[in-house]
Amino acid sequence: MRAHGARVLCLYPAERTTREGEFACGVAWDDPQSILGLPAYLHMEVAGVVHMGHPDARGGAGCEALFLLLKAFAAVFENRNLPAWLAHISFFGGHFGMSPAVAETGLAEAWEHLRSAGAYGVVKSAYREWPWTHVRVVDMSNDLDAQAAAQAAWRSVSAYGSETEVGFDGHSHWRVALEESVLTLNGHHLDKDSVIMATGGGHGITALAATALARRYQPIMHIVGRTPLEDESADVASCKDAPALRLYLTDKMRSGGEAPTPVMVEREVQAILRKRAVRSHLDIMRRSGARVWYHALDVRDAQALSHMTEAIYRQHDRVDMLLHGAGVLADRRIRDKTLQEFSGVLHTKADSALTLLRALHPQKLRFVVLFSSVVARFGNIGQADYAAANEILNKLAWLVASRWPHIRVSSIGWGPWDYGMVSESLRRLYREKGIALLDPHEAVGWLLREIAAAGPVAPEILITRSVQALQRGLFQ
């Protein structure tokens, strides 16, 4: 980059922020304040950020570090008159983790590297937030010597073209393209003895998927969610709907000496309705003939999740299918999003997936279905964390497929459903943008077809409507 006329300041891992002459600065990557304080500390004009996702870059390679860097330099990226550069260089072999190269190490060892793939989601979302930015994500072969890697990276970053993602495997350049897939059915099957573990299966779209699986196969189901399911008091149970609950709770709070606000009341009403929704989904599964257990736990608690998995093996000696749908949103633009919000989204979806895959016995596992999102493929305003978490799931799917070819793994990048976390205001926005929502009944049908498909299938797929509109950007 220097040879091409750029002034480059290299940020390297250090105990604390330390400027080393004109060209280098140490950064404590595990200290958010150290990263966020960089603009004031460096006090220099910045024209862009090149982020290296190499495992040797230690803490700096992670997607949290990239998120914090972008947040710190948001003012640079916001300047439309002087478009900044943003590049991320990863080292998954040149094919973005979609080849067996990442499978050579163990799952736990590969994890930090795999987790750095979240940076793809961060960069693609940053581009949606600052569309005038020169953005490029480059995936490189790990076999190139430093000189060749630097030259190839520079060529890929500076090349003209509209591709955001460019791969270089040492021989050829690659791009990521969507391809329509045709499924042949009657491949794999579950039956009434199969054990399915479904995180997030008590609520939202995963509950619809779980109830459909219950109807189709009458299996043994272990459903995981945070919602506790204690019995309702007789008074609460007598309130059949939200208005009745609002009246009852307002009166109860007042008679207890509280001054209830609508927000306080609504929070309690929604909590009760959520429990009812979970109970109702579990009832549907049971009535369909499935044997169902519910585990009220937070999937971010790795120990609790591992203990639960061990207990399921003691009970049934098998888990045939993992359906991982637990996920949360914390939508805010990069400049406003907190690290806590970013990490919360990542821990819920991505880190819990690793915990589960480490706790499950691969030789007994036959299906892994991960609920990812189109946002991972295209990025989205306010969803850098969500795109990162889903990109990690996508890359994890490729890793699982290459390490354990007998497992049928599918990371499904769902387009927006007319259900679940898609709120009324989001529905309106999609409608305005001409983005059609997935009909829940139809979407569940696609999922069942995906599970029953014969022959090899791609571990990372999209199921959506309005692909072109999504490609142009969800919220633009």
Ligand X SMILES: NC(=O)c1ccc[n+]([C@@H]2O[C@H](COP(=O)([O-])OP(=O)(O)OC[C@H]3O[C@@H](n4cnc5c(N)ncnc54)[C@H](OP(=O)(O)O)[C@@H]3O)[C@@H](O)[C@H]2O)c1
| Binding positions for ligand X, rule: CB under 6 A | 199-200, 202-206, 224-227, 298-300, 325-328, 348-349, 371, 373, 414, 416-417, 419-422
The C-alpha atoms of residue 52 and residue 56 are separated, in whole angstroms, by: 9
Given the complex with ligand X, which of 204 and 459 has the nearer CB atom?
204
Residue with tokens 């929502």: 437
Contact yes or no for 416/386 (Cβ under 8 A): no
Tokens of 148: 């060749």
Helices (H), 220-324: 234-238, 242-255, 262-287, 302-316
Q: How far is the CB of 278 from ligand X (least distance, A)?
A: 6
Q: How far is the CB of 71 from ligand X (least distance, A)?
A: 22
Given the complex with ligand X, which of 45 and 230 has the nearer CB atom?
230
Given the complex with ligand X, which of 53 and 204 has the nearer CB atom?
204
- H/E element holding 89? strand 85-90
The total of other beta-carbon atoms located within 10 Å of residue 29's CB is 22
Q: How far is the CB of 37 from ligand X (least distance, A)?
A: 31
Q: How far is the CB of 345 from ligand X (least distance, A)?
A: 9
Residue nearest to ligand X (CB): 204
Q: In the Cβ-directed half-sphere of 40, how many Cα atoms lie within 13 Å?
A: 5
Given the complex with ligand X, which of 138 and 285 has the nearer CB atom?
285
Given the complex with ligand X, which of 251 and 442 has the nearer CB atom?
442
Residue with tokens 């149970």: 237
Q: How far is the CB of 331 from ligand X (least distance, A)?
A: 12
Give the orientation angle of helix 352-359 with respect to helix 384-403, to 10 degrees: 20
Q: How far is the CB of 51 from ligand X (least distance, A)?
A: 25
Task: Let me know how long the chain is.
Answer: 476
Residue with tokens 């939508």: 331
Q: How far is the CB of 388 from ligand X (least distance, A)?
A: 12
Given the complex with ligand X, which of 421 and 458 has the nearer CB atom?
421
Phi and psi, residue 222, nearest 5°? -115, 115
DSSP 307-318: HHHHHHHHHHS-
Closest CA to 288 of 398, 182, 207: 207
Given the complex with ligand X, which of 62 and 325 has the nearer CB atom?
325
